Chain A
Amino acid sequence: MKYTDEKIKNFQAYMKHAKISGCAVTDNDGVNYLSDFNFVGEGDAFLFITLKQAYCFTKQLYAIDVKNKAKYLTLVDSLDCEDIVKLAKKLKLKNCVFDTTCTAYIPGTLFYKNGFKEMPGIISANKEVKTKTEIARISKACSISAKAYDIFRKRLKVGMTELQACALLENIMKELGGEGLAFPTIMAFGPESANPHHTNTDRKLKAEDVVLMDYGCRWGGYCSDITRTFWFGKKPSAEFTKMFDIVKSAYDLGVKLVKPGVAASVPHNSVMELFDNKGKLAKYFIHSLGHSLGTAIHEKPYLNTRSKEVLKAGNVVTVEPGLYFEGKFGIRYENTVLVTEKSSKILTK
């Protein structure tokens, strides 16, 4: 994988348009997104983007790697946000800003006191429409997760615990080239599947059992997200089959509505309506229909009832309707979907 400065260039074009001369980025996801580099944790690096340069404040241990792979970053051997302020003064930049929604309170206060302007959500807004490179990386992560499902189904056995099945699945993704996890894998057996945010346990898989798996990997710094629910065994209960078909039809409706120009609240609201028409099931759908993803697993725009955005070509969203019956079982079906020029494309396949 080659590191690219195209996101910095796009951001600089945005800055020019918005008459911003400098932007301080201090949160790990924002820094990794713009620099295209993989700094491990919060506080490992900060960026100061001007119209001409991308200054990277980081630790010495990253220096060799940054010099070799991300030549477009100008290295500064400091991790002190005061030095960002000093640099802005030295360069005599007039209109410097920071994103209030992702900058922590301490550096934010420092920037504000030094005349930087508050710009809520500028980083997340720039993340919404993905570049071709970003789409290629997300697609790769998605295809690894989808392939992993097929292999996993052949290797899953009665008696495995949720934790063991989870390890099996994660290892298959690694063998297929996945770099890491997009988020902690959910592997829920039997009634545990009814909890949408289940934590994996030692519960063993029975001969006839429901399995819900919600997982994803990373490739080139980008996430994938997929959920499959299936009946393990030969005798699915009539209720499970019926509910599965309803969830699947909700998913199909959701995907059909995901296209450019559609309000992001519409797919969610339509799925709610569908559930309500199928015997008042809407109250068992207890989360939103989906979210966008990129370098972070949850990004804007969200597919929920409060969403005010309109879908655009280049958005990458999840469509994940579910029904949850406490004490019995839960079903969720999810794919990662790219909004294309005219409609959409399933990436997790």
Chain B
Amino acid sequence: MPKLDPAKLSAIRKVIKNNGLDSFILTDYNDIKYLMGPIFQPSEAVVIIHAKGVYITARSLYEAPVAADFPEVKIEGCDKDRELKIVEAAKKLKLKKVGFDARKETYFAGKIYTAAGFVEKQNFLVSVRASKTEEELAKMRAAAKIAYKTYKHMAAWFEPGVTEQQGAAELERFMKQNGASGLSFDTIVAFGANTANPHYMTGKAKLKKNMPILLDFGCIYDGYCSDITRTFWFGDKPAVEFIELFNIVKGAHDEVVENAKYGQTGAAIDLIARDYIEAAGYGKYFTHGTGHGIGMEIHEDAYINSNNTDMPIVDNYCFSVEPGIYLTGKFGIRYEDCFYMTKDGMKQIK
């Protein structure tokens, strides 16, 4: 029997109170899933959380099953103009200070809410969702374990002549056989010079002896994502330059793991990896941020990049560390694990 998680609900209510509101609207698919589990499809429900309860308006077909499964929720079916239904419900509930997330509502919906006197907020649930509960961490560890086991399997699987797509199919089959319910994102398997494109789409290239392989993949376990990247040389004669660059990338990764501190911003942590790679002379070839937040979504707030100057990374925030160096036409190297932040520093999710 699904139930609203009391820990998550009270965390949201605390933020509502701290923001001087009496209620808050959730529209975003993942925000609703965070609270209730995977019940609604995207754009099919709107939720108001207030001090006394939870009100939902959703497509009519959800009315009966949700009312049966969540006794503490009041749900009303509505197949059209759910924004207006929400305004009406807030009035009936006598809510005075209703907040909405300006980053997650459309301009169309935001205008209706603003006209109704609702309060525009940004990044409202960021701290709640970034800081994982023990239960969430357990799920993320389970997802990571499958990914690491899969990497071991794949490292021994490749042989000359297989295509990138065949590699991805085997990798995904193995993750699912080992308990994954799905993929965190479309698997990247890149051979040879294709590794130099950080945004590569797995294709039909065939594997030959003595070229690099880059695997960037992850799975979903009980709703939570894993994400790892490994780059390795296939064959017994790795290019000298490959080994040199691999050591720089791995060094940047380890430098972050050892030195990032509780309370540092994403930008400060990003700088640790960036300084390291720059000192080695490859700064301009590190063409993306050091990492991203991770949880129910593969990319969440808690970005580890130069833009994130105002968000301290604290209690159980989960994020990836994935520095890389990309030499167009030659090869690219990326090395990635995920971590959570504690008062004692970063701990690997594994």
Contact = CB atoms under 8 A, between A and B. Distances in A.
Interface in B3-35: none
B251 to A, nearest CB: 21
Interface residues of B, number: 51
A287 B169 CA distance: 35
Given A38-B201, A98-B107, A171 B287 contact: no
Nearest to A173: B169
A103 B110 CA distance: 10
Given A103-B107, A106-B122, A163 B181 contact: yes
Nearest to B181: A163
A170 interface: yes
B328 A64 contact: yes
A65 B80 CA distance: 40
Residue of B108, B173, B177, B197 most packed against chain A (CB within 10 A): B108
Contact of B287 (A61, A104, A199): A61
Interface in B177-230: 177, 180-183, 185-186, 196-201
B299 interface: yes
B61 A197 contact: yes
Contact of A61 (B64, B172, B198): B198
Interface string B47-78: 00000000000011110110000000000000
Interface stretch (B98-106, B133-141, B337-345): B98-106
Given A64-B197, A65-B199, A180-B186, A174 B288 contact: no
A159 to B, nearest CB: 15
A184 B109 CA distance: 26
A60 B106 CA distance: 27
B79 interface: yes
Contacts of A306: 79-80
Contacts of B59: 287
A108 interface: yes
Given A38-B201, A174-B168, A197-B62, A103 B106 contact: yes
Given A38-B201, A171-B173, A100 B181 contact: no
Contact of A167 (B108, B110, B176): B176
B159 interface: no
B110 A41 contact: no
A109 interface: yes
A175 B163 CA distance: 12
B91 interface: no
B65 A166 contact: no
Nearest to A60: B287
B172 A109 contact: no
A286 interface: yes
Contacts of B153: none
Nearest to B2: A199
A40 B110 contact: no
Contact of A108 (B106, B168, B182, B198): B106
Given A105-B106, A105-B107, A163-B181, A286 B176 contact: no
B246 to A, nearest CB: 20
Given A64-B328, A166-B181, A196 B61 contact: yes
Contacts of B185: 40
Contacts of B37: 199
A112 interface: yes
B65 to A, nearest CB: 6
Contact of B103 (A104, A166, A180, A181): A104
A166 B182 CA distance: 9
Contacts of B41: 183, 197
Contacts of B40: 197
A90 B177 CA distance: 56
Interface string A168-202: 00110011010111011000000000011101100
B38 interface: yes
B229 to A, nearest CB: 13
Interface in A63-97: 63-65
Contacts of A61: 198-199, 287-288
Contact of A104 (B61, B105, B165, B196): B105
B172 A171 contact: yes
Contact of A286 (B61, B168, B180): B61
Contacts of A171: 169, 172-173, 176
Interface string A288-308: 000000000010000000100
Given A40-B185, A60-B288, A102 B106 contact: yes
Contacts of B197: 64-65
A115 interface: no
B299 to A, nearest CB: 5
Nearest to B284: A60
B107 A174 contact: no
A105 B169 contact: no
Nearest to B178: A167
Contacts of A200: 181
Interface of A: 38, 40-41, 59-65, 98, 100-109, 112, 118, 120, 163-164, 166-167, 170-171, 174-175, 177, 179-181, 183-184, 195-197, 199-200, 286-287, 298, 306, 326
Interface of B: 37-41, 43, 59-62, 64-65, 79-80, 102-111, 120, 122, 165, 168-169, 172-173, 176-177, 180-183, 185-186, 196-201, 287-288, 298-299, 326, 328
Given A65-B197, A100-B107, A101-B107, 8 more contacts: A64-B199, A105-B103, A105-B105, A170-B176, A174-B168, A183-B41, A184-B38, A184-B182
